[in-house]
Structure formats: C-alpha cells, structure tokens
Structure 1
Amino acid sequence: MIYNKEMETLSREEMQKIQLERLKKTVAHAYENVEFHKNSFAQAGIKPEDIQTLDDLQKIPFMKKTDLRENYPFGLFAVGMDQVARIHGSSGTKGKPTVVGYTKKDIENWSEVVARSICLAGGRPGDIFHNAYGYGLFTGGLGLHYGIEQMGAVVVPISGGNTSRQITLIQDFLPRGLSGTPSYILNIVEEMKRLGLDPRESSVEYGIFGAEPWSEEMREQLETELNIKAVDIYGLSEVMGPGISCECHEGQDGLHIAEDHFYAEIVDPKTSEVLPYGEQGELVFTSLTKEAFPVLRYRTGDIASLNPEPCVCGRTSLRMSRIKGRVDDMLIIRGVNVFPTEIESVLLSFKELAPHYQVVIERDGALDRFEVHCELTPEYSELGEDTSKLVKQICHRIKDMLGVSVLLKMVAPYSIQRSESKAIRIVDNRNVAKVSS
C-alpha cells in the first residue's frame, strides 16, 4: 500500500507548483501575524510580494533555534490561543526550552505525513504497532501515535522506559511494527538476551527508528538482532515532529521528504550559501502548511544532502540522506572534523564490541584529549582474553578510516549508561575540569 500515491509520484514541476502556491500563503501568514517575521523581513528589505518563485525564498533570512528561545514561550505563534490545539517543546537542558504550537489542522497534516511514513516502512492497516517513543512534550510519542491511528493500525502507547514491561507486551500483543530511538531499542534487545529470550523470534517485522543520528552499521545490527527491516525517520519539533521524511523499506536509500508540506534546502554551515543537490551541508526547512507555528528557512543544525532522483519504490519525492551528525556535535580532533556516527561505524564493525559507546572529552593542559569508551560484548568478555591486541586493531582502524588517533578505553559489559530516549554519545568534561580547578 502506498499512502497518498498521487502526491508522492508527482513530477518535479508539478510538485514545485504546489510548493510555490503554499509558500506564498505561508510567507504572507507569517508576515501578517508574527512580529518576529515582520521585523526579519524589514531588516532584509523585503516584503511577502517579493517572493514570486521558489528561488526567491533565498531572500528570506534564516531562523535559528536561538530565535525560538528569545521569543519564548509563544512569541512565534501565528494564531491566537483559541485556535491552538496542542503545545510541544524541548527539554530546555541548554537554557530556555523551545516551544511550538499546533492547530487542529496542523495535527491532521502531521498525522497524515506520519501515516505516509509508516506505509513507507512497510506498515499496513490492521498492524499492531508498539510505540516506544517517549510521550509528553517530546514530539516522538504523540507524533507516531496519531499517524499510526491515521493509517488504520493499532497503537500500543507504551512510551519509553520500563524495559521489562516492553518485552512482556511485545511477547503478549505480537506487534508487527516497532518504533523508538535505535539506542533504546538495542537496550530492549540486550535485556531480552539477558532474560534468555531470542529477539529474532519476536513478531516484529519492521521498525521505524530515529530522533538521533545512527549509522548503517547500527541498522545492520538492529536488523540482524531482531530479524526485521529497519528504516530511518526524521523530524524535529521546530519544523513539525517525526514524519518530515522517512525511508522506504524497498530502497532504504535516503528519506522521502513530504514535499507538499516542507521545502528543503542544503546550505554551507559556514558561508550559508545554498548548495546544489548531492553536496553535503546543513539541512534547512521551510514549512508550507503550518498554521500555528510557521517556520521560514529554519536551520536544523543537521548535516545531510539532497537527492532528486526517483526511487526504486516508484516515488518521485526529493530524498534527503541519513543524518551524518549535527553541526554542534562535530568533533575537531587534531584538526580533523569527525562525527560520532563515523566513530560508531568503525566500532560496530568489530563483533567483539557491543553497540554502546561514548566519546569523552577531557582538558589536558591547553589541549583537548579525546577518549573513546566502548564495551565488550558479554560473550567476548566471558572468554577473559587479553584486550590489548583488540584495542590496537580498533585504534588502527579508526586511524585508517577517519585519519585521527584516539585513546581507546575498553570497559566491561553494561558499564556505559543506558538511555531510555536519546543516547548520550558525547561527554564533555572540559567545563567540569575548569570548575573543579
């Protein structure tokens, strides 16, 4: 089943015609109802009527996450509270949280794009779907929930955490679909094994995973451990939530963007220059149908590229690559730019290692010291073998593949902290060291 087949197989010209019509309406709506956008346009010396082509979008200044924090809580809403149906927001761990709103129509559109995503993953009406994304202000849980219902599947709103109960319900309810952060799903797999269960024998056939960057090696591990098809879903609350794009199970080669609702660009993170298809840079989104919280050229901070070629599944929608990492998560190790997912790719190529790791940054005098902490699998740890040779092999592979030398620390199984939502891949102790000194 292909959800909304007509919209997903339009020619590029037909899709761009729809996008331009919706862009003009969104620009006018944002300008007329949000002081921030009116001031932004004034500073750029433009007005809504200056946006007559999709290329004219480049005249509009970028939005950044700091703009949301500076207009906390409701300063970027384009409708009154009598029209807002729901509010979501970030955790606010780095200052003021980001707050976004949705009208009833926004919720309906969001449900539709998530329903499309589930169909892309191989879902069908009547499926029982185990939703292990967290519910609450985080958009993952409720975003998937409404899309599952919209598609005609049966949602199990388990949320995150309580891993033993997750396993019980998977055994008893026999879901065909599964969603959650890949790191937490691996925690479930790990616990199944500890209980003497074989994850490959579960009823799950496909999984929709996201909310954190994850590598192809992580996908391979998930598919092998659970005997499923694992696809990547993308979203962020500032633009909508999960469902902005999703991989198809046929190709697993880039995430199909719901282009009738979102316009995507790739820009150079340093120069802000718009880059052509195929080139890697920072992902920028403009909403085309949002009523409560329209966003114009929002810089996501995520690194990706765009591909306009038709997919093997028959869809013609623009595809974005899987997220390589975030601009602010990029590590500069002795002058070389490295993303945690690149380190993950190397680590998961060693069968002796569990899929849990952290990059720990320490201050060593005037320099930064990077340590990669990784776990042995329980099976390999029980052998009691000397790990010095393995450490040398891993360090050599990292040096060969990424061009950097790192200090590698091997730790015992289960010693790296597990997360019930997004995995903590980078532990920066530099400020801690500064305060203690």
Structure 2
Amino acid sequence: MIPEIETKSAAEIKAFQENQLQLMLAYLSKNSPFYKRHFETHQLYISEIQTLEDLTKIPVTTKDDLQQFNDDFICVPKSKIIDYVTTSGTLGDPVTYVLTDADLERLAYNEAISFACAGVSSDDTLQLMTTMDRRFMAGLAYFLGVRKLGAGIIRVGAGIPELQWDSILKFQPTYLIVVPSFLLKMIEYAQQHNIDLNASGIKGAICIGEAIRNEDFTLNTLGKKITEHWNIPLFSTYASTEMSTAFTECSSQQGGHLHPELIIAELLDEHNNPVKEGETGELTITTLGVEAMPLLRFKTGDMMTAHHESCVCGRNTLRLGPIAGRKKQMIKYKGTTLYPPAMQNVLNNFNELECFVIEISHNAIGTDEILIKIASHTPSEQLLGQIKDHFRAKLRVTPKLEWCDKKEIDALRFPKLSRKPILVIDKRK
C-alpha cells in the first residue's frame, strides 16, 4: 500500500507539492483570520509563491503564535468542527486544535499508509497501548488508521503490564502500538510470570514518543535493551498534533518517510534559512489538505536531519532521522551543547535505575545548570561513580546527579492531567 506519488521521481514529487501549495495558500487567504493578517502585515502576495523555494519569502509561524491567537487559526464555522484535541503542552501552554469530518478522514488515511509503511496489513491485529481519551489526538488517530487499513485493533490503553499480557495471550495481536520504555516493563512481567516473549506471536512494535535509534539509525541503548530480550523489529514513528501527519519507518528502518500528499517539510537554521543537506535543523512544516486548522511554515521546535536519497522500499520521499532534541531544550553546559535525549540515552544504560527526571535551570550568573534526579532499589556511591564515568565518556561532561525517592520523581514525571510522562523539567526563563 504505497501511494503512487511516493514512488515518483524527486522532480515529480516537487511539482506535485507545488501544485498542492497553491491550493493551500488560496484556502488560507480566503478562510484563515490569522494568515490573512499575516499576509497583509508582511505585504505578501500569494501569487509570488510558486515554488517550494519561494516559501522562504513567508515569515514562519511559531508555537507562540498558536498560543496567542489560537482561535484565529480556525478556518471553518463551529458547526463543521467534529473533534477537539489539545497539544501536550511540553514546552508551553497547551493549544486547542480542532478537526472537521474531512480532517478525521485525512488523519485516518495518514495512519493507514503509515502503518502499511511499517509492514502492517489488513490481516494483522494491533494492540493500542496508549490513551484515546483526555483530548489526545494520537490514540484516536491510531484507531482511525487501523480501521481504515482494515486491520483489527484491541484498545487496552496505557500501562498495566498484566492487562496487556492478558490481551496478548487471549486475542493474539501481531503488532503493538507502544511507548518503547514500557516494553521493558512488559519484558520484566513476562520473565516473572514465565511468559515466552518470542512465542507470543508479536511481529513488531510501532514505537511512539521516545527515540529508539541513534543518528546513524542503529538502535540506541533503549532499543538494544528491548531487542536483546524480545526479538521483534521496532519501528520509529514521529508525529505531532499540529502536523496531523506521521513520519514512520519502513522495513529498511532508515528514517521516517514523508507523505508528500499530506505535508511539506523544511529544516531551518536559527535564522529561518534552509540548512545544507546533511545538517541538523528545526523541522518546519506546511500541512496539505487540512480543513479546520492548516498551518503554513510552522516551526515544530524539533531538531533533526533529513535524508534525501531513494529508499530500498521503493519510496523516493524525504526521510527524517531521529530527533536530536527540542530547540527550546538545547543546553549549553561547560562549553558543550547538549539535548536531553543524549542524557536519557546514557541513563538508559543502567538497569539499576528505576526512574529519573532531568531538571534544567539557570545559575546565579545566568548560565545553564543540569540536575538529574535518579532513583534506584540499590543506590550507592559506586553506582553513582559509574554513571558519572559514563557521562564523561559519552558526552564529555558530567551533570549534577542526586539520589531521590521514587515517589518524589514519579510526582514530577506524572503531574496532574498529564497524558504522558515528563522526563525534562526546564526551569529557565
């Protein structure tokens, strides 16, 4: 199930996207209060935007814009709105995002072709191990996509290894949709209850919300810890509420594929100019085919690298590498630039750690400080020394580490109304 446009040449894909861009610009200039004002303020004429390269003439849209002028992004009357979701608010106040019936159909199509990209077919059954409530778009998107693909779905929800295993053994799903670190809890439960992981019938896991690969696409520490016990392929997928689109790995597992009929992707530097090929930049997206809240040159805050060469799967679309980190969470620490995922990867090497949370703050002279609160069944100075040595070896610097009670860390990681664990607390102003 590869959409025909994804196997076209790079030139044909570009021409297709430029045609879709024209339709999108005309729609915004007619229906979007925010973008009408945006175009007028910056004296932009959409007739001047003919190519993808011309996009650089349009000032970017930021998360601050979405927060400040949320309702002005809505392009349809309230009577057409079918569903309301909110962003997770990881880097600021949550934003309301609305969808029409056509947007839900687009969302279903996106997930159907994304699952198919990872090898899922109508013959499969997927176990959904994330929430569908709390105004969370992802869980709904997965459900709609599986349904459109014609596959089966088991809506177990998040957490509770015993219930997850009960469903696996009873209904025999073939794929899991899961936050990868939770697979470690699934493995631990299976080992404690004599469940044969590799006889469970699971063919693969669609991994959401956490990185499982290094920049060269090899498995990172978390990915290795899962697969050394459970011999299943892990597929990365990257998405966000604002994009209403997913970048999912195919069987070659060399980055998440762009769907050119759904989204235009740019990687920009700090001056909002395109980065050179192979360089890391901030993903900036333009949605195609969205009815209620389309976005034009929206900066996601996520730093990554794009790969342009054709893929062995037959697709000729751009692929995105793993997220290096969020731009707002970049840390300058003792002369070294760090992102939290690199620190998480170091900490995941230690099975003795039950949980951790990374706190970023400014010190008295205004430079960045890092405090990592860690919990373990067996805290010791020896273990602390080993962790510090590993930080020095991998990242050249050692942040401050502090033993804490697991309950204290869990209270920080799971604040009230949170839909997913918080691993980074940024206290900088």
Q: TM-score range by the shorter chain?
A: 0.7 to 0.9
Distance 1:236 1:228, change over 3 A: same
Amino acid at match of 1:291: E
| 1:247-269 CA distance string (max 9 Å, x none) | 11x2211110112210000001x
Which shifted more, 396-405 or 198-207? 198-207
1:401 aligns with 2:394: yes
Residue 110 of structure 1: which of 102, 107, 112 is its match?
107
Q: Show the counterpart of 2:302.
A: 302
- Give SS of 2:228's match: helix
Quick one: distance in 2 between partners of 1:122 and 1:414?
Answer: 40
In angstroms, what is the RMSD of aligned CA positions? 2.7
Quick one: distance in 2 between partners of 1:92 and 1:428?
Answer: 13
Q: Please tell me whether the aligned partners of residues 204 and 226 of structure 1 are also in contact (alpha carbons under 8 angstroms).
A: no
Q: Show the counterpart of 2:263.
A: 262
| 1:84-140 CA distance string (max 9 Å, x none) | 332221245776531222222222222122111112222111211001122131111
Q: Show the counterpart of 2:217.
A: none
Gaps of 5+ in 2: 214-219
| 1:159-206 CA distance string (max 9 Å, x none) | 224443223212211111111222334344444445554544432221
Quick one: distance in 2 between partners of 1:186 and 1:143?
Answer: 25
Quick one: distance in 1 between partners of 2:208 and 2:142?
Answer: 11
Q: Please tell me whether the aligned partners of residues 309 and 316 of structure 1 are also in contact (alpha carbons under 8 angstroms).
A: yes
- Give SS of 2:311's match: coil
Q: Show the counterpart of 2:222.
A: 218
Residue 41 (structure 1) shift: 1.0
Matches within 5 A, 1:18-417: 18-72=16-70, 74-91=71-88, 96-136=93-133, 137-195=135-193, 197-215=195-213, 216-240=220-244, 243-248=245-250, 250-268=251-269, 270-350=270-350, 352-354=351-353, 356-361=355-360, 366=365, 369-374=369-374, 381=378, 387-409=380-402, 416-417=409-410
Q: Please tell me whether the aligned partners of residues 279 and 305 of structure 1 are also in contact (alpha carbons under 8 angstroms).
A: yes
| 1:330-356 CA distance string (max 9 Å, x none) | 222223221121112223345x44574
| 1:14-50 CA distance string (max 9 Å, x none) | 1111101110000110111112101111122211111
Residue 55 (structure 1) shift: 0.9
Distance 1:191 1:105, change over 3 A: same
Quick one: distance in 2 between partners of 1:146 and 1:390?
Answer: 46
Q: Please tell me whether the aligned partners of residues 36 and 76 of structure 1 are also in contact (alpha carbons under 8 angstroms).
A: yes
Quick one: distance in 1 between partners of 2:72 and 2:408?
Answer: 43
Distance 1:165 1:339, change over 3 A: same
Q: Please tell me whether the aligned partners of residues 125 and 175 of structure 2 are also in contact (alpha carbons under 8 angstroms).
A: yes
Amino acid at match of 1:357: F
- Give SS of 1:357's match: strand
Q: Please tell me whether the aligned partners of residues 213 and 325 of structure 1 are also in contact (alpha carbons under 8 angstroms).
A: no
Q: Please tell me whether the aligned partners of residues 375 and 406 of structure 2 are also in contact (alpha carbons under 8 angstroms).
A: yes
Residue 422 of structure 1: which of 417, 420, 423 is its match?
420
| 1:25-82 CA distance string (max 9 Å, x none) | 001101111121011111222111111111111111111112222223x321112223
Q: TM-score, normalised by structure 1?
A: 0.86
Q: Please tell me whether the aligned partners of residues 160 and 421 of structure 1 are also in contact (alpha carbons under 8 angstroms).
A: no
Q: Please tell me whether the aligned partners of residues 60 and 272 of structure 2 are also in contact (alpha carbons under 8 angstroms).
A: no
Distance 1:96 1:408, change over 3 A: closer
Quick one: distance in 1 between partners of 2:63 and 2:237?
Answer: 21
Amino acid at match of 1:394: I
Q: TM-score, normalised by structure 2?
A: 0.88
